[in-house]
Amino acid sequence: MLTVEKIGGTSMTAFADVLDNIIFHGRQGAALYNRIFVVSAYANVTNWLLENKKTGAPGVYHRISQHQEFRAALQDVAAKLQELNKNYEPLGLNLAVADAFIQQRIDQAQTYLDSLVNVLASGYVNSANILQAAREILASIGEAHSAFNSVNILQNLGVNATLVDLSGFDDAQALTIDERIKQAFANIDFATTICIATGYTKGTEGIMREFDRGYSEVTFSKIAVAVRPQEAIIHKEYHLCSADPNLVGVDHCRPVGFTNYDVADQLADVGMEAIHPKASKPLEINAIDLRIKNTFEPAHPGTLITRDFVSPDKHIEVITGTDKVVMIDIHDPLMVGTAGFDLHLMQVFYDLDVSYIFKATSANSISVLVWAKDLKPALTAELQAKYEQVTIEEAALVCLIGSNIDEPGLLARAAGALAEAGINIRSAGFALRKVNIQFIVGREEYRPAIVALNQAVG
């Protein structure tokens, strides 16, 4: 059975566990093969190269974008990567070979970046395109590093492993992402080797232009579509659970087990991504099943996501949400009976590239829930200029999600549980398909709302 499997950065950092729990677990001989692993950079490496994903702390890219000297910072990253290499020498990594590889790759990247910086300084070109290219060059280093090390370790352990470097560092061909992937895998006999592919793929369209830091999942998805495996697998450092164990406690949640791509989209919409929606769509369209597994619990089958799964019994599969949202309420007495009022409002959001998560309407008001980070001053100013009254409140969203949750009394039980916990529902709603029942509550009530719902209907 051919599989395409993605290993995230946290798991890659614990590569001894990857060897024991993923690559060698329950396998030997020919059973080791027929697998393509798409690897992320080790934890924090892309943060050093670009910026910290959570805090925004600047990396090498920031120095380039601010027209500052970047070479010393880039060589500092090279030293850090060589220091990281020492952790994997006991596993079989040839330290001299690995250090030489990453130093050569960093030096090559510096040459490319020097050229870009010189062109940027001329003022003759679009700076956005040059900076995007710099961002991609830097990002590719992390995945090339971890992929090379993985292949070197496996080969030194006697396993036939093939490096599939999709970063195109020595390839001037103007290939799209799909073309590069197709070309890279065209002549590989999967039955006789383990493929280790970089999570970054170079392409004329620029993989980070649309997906930015989510690019490794896109590579994973596109490889799966290209080779048509029996299953695509994502290895994470945790299970896809019925609720966040950090909120409800490990003993009060469970792995989801089975669900469908619609549910996965609902989760992604509130920031609980099993996989980026734009990476999952090609899998869904091509009927490729996706399994989410916990790296550190190899015997557990994890959660299987398919196109058509519907739970045979009615139950909530996931209780989740976010407290990083704001509610924008637009009140205007001219709204009632006016065709297209909603359209003009949505045009404001569209023009400023702001997506909403939830919307509710009445005769004279429309309430829209957006990510707090998207509440731009320009959005507030535009709305206040157009409409009579605009109210903005910090909020939290809690959701009951599942493939088969349409049953009498569920909404009442959920609302009752929130009421018993002293939580006021500011707004609520669900679409006709009833895969996601949503409640808007105060931001400070997010955790108690999740706990209350999990106890009542989880």
For residue 243, is it within any domain? Answer: no
Q: Which residues pair with 307 in a beta bridge?
A: none
* 222 lies in the same domain as 364: no
CATH code, 127 = 3.40.1160.10
**Between the CA of residue 410 and those of 315, 386, 434, 456, what are the distances in Å?**
10, 39, 11, 10
Q: Which residues pair with 159 in a beta bridge?
A: none
Give the torsion through C-alpha atoms of 414, 417, 422, 427, to 10 deg.
0
Distance, in Å, from the CA atom of 361 to the CA atom of 22, rounded to the nearest integer, reads 49
* 194 lies in the same domain as 337: no
Please, are residues 302 and 293 in contact by the beta-carbon 8 Å criterion? yes
* 224 lies in the same domain as 82: yes
User: According to the model, what pLDDT value does residue 271 have?
Assistant: 84
Q: Domain span at residue 338?
A: 318-457
Distance, in Å, from the CA atom of 291 to the CA atom of 231, rounded to the nearest integer, reads 7
411 exposure class (CB count in 10 Å sphere: 0-12, 13-18, 19+): middle
Radius of gyration of the chain (CA): 24
Length of the chain equals 458
For residue 300, is it within any domain? Answer: no
For residue 266, is it within any domain? Answer: no
* 56 lies in the same domain as 150: yes
Query: What's the per-residue H, E or C state across the chain?
Result: CCEEEEECHHHHHCHHHHHHHHHCCCCCHHHHCCEEEEECCCCCHHHHHCECCCCCCECHHHHHHCCCCCHHHHHHHHHHHHHHHHHHHHHCCCHHHHHHHHHHHHHHHHHHHHHHHHHHHHCCCCHHHHHHHHHHHHHHHHHHHHHHHHHHHHHHCCCCEEEECCCCCCCCCCCCHHHHHHHHHCCCCHHHCEEEEECCCCCCCCHHHHHHHHHHHHHHHHHHHHHCCCEEEEEECCCCECCCHHHHCHHHCCECCEEEHHHHHHHHHCCCCCCCHHHHHHHHHCCCCEEEEECCCCCCCCEEEECCCCCCCCECCEEEEEEEEEEEEEECCCCCCCCCHHHHHHHHHHHCCCCEEEEEECCCEEEEEEEHHHCCHHHHHHHHHHCCEEEEEEEEEEEEECCECCCCCHHHHHHHHHHHCCCCCCEEECCCCCCEEEEEECHHHHHHHHHHHHHHHC
* 173 lies in the same domain as 42: yes
* 339 lies in the same domain as 202: no
For residue 296, is it within any domain? Answer: no
For 355, the token pair is: 């997506």
* 11 lies in the same domain as 137: yes
Distance, in Å, from the CA atom of 275 to the CA atom of 171, rounded to the nearest integer, reads 30
User: According to the model, what pLDDT value does residue 312 have?
Assistant: 96
Domain boundary among the residues 237, 266, 287 is at 237
Distance, in Å, from the CA atom of 399 to the CA atom of 318, rounded to the nearest integer, reads 8
User: According to the model, what pLDDT value does residue 161 have?
Assistant: 98
For residue 101, is it within any domain? Answer: yes
pLDDT, averaged per 10 consecutive residues of the chain (458 residues), comes to 95 96 96 98 96 91 94 97 98 98 98 93 83 95 98 98 95 93 96 98 90 90 97 94 94 96 93 84 96 95 97 96 97 90 94 95 95 95 95 98 95 97 96 94 98 95
Give the torsion through C-alpha atoms of 207, 212, 213, 214, to 10 deg.
-60
User: According to the model, what pLDDT value does residue 213 have?
Assistant: 83
For residue 88, is it within any domain? Answer: yes
User: According to the model, what pLDDT value does residue 127 have?
Assistant: 87
User: According to the model, what pLDDT value does residue 64 have?
Assistant: 95
For residue 249, is it within any domain? Answer: no
Split into its structural domains, the chain has a count of 2
Domain boundary among the residues 237, 266, 299 is at 237
pTM, two decimals, is 0.91
Q: Which residues pair with 72 in a beta bridge?
A: none
User: According to the model, what pLDDT value does residue 211 have?
Assistant: 82
* 330 lies in the same domain as 226: no
For residue 133, is it within any domain? Answer: yes
User: According to the model, what pLDDT value does residue 187 have?
Assistant: 93
User: According to the model, what pLDDT value does residue 180 have?
Assistant: 97
CATH code, 402 = 3.30.2130.10
Domain boundary among the residues 187, 221, 237 is at 237
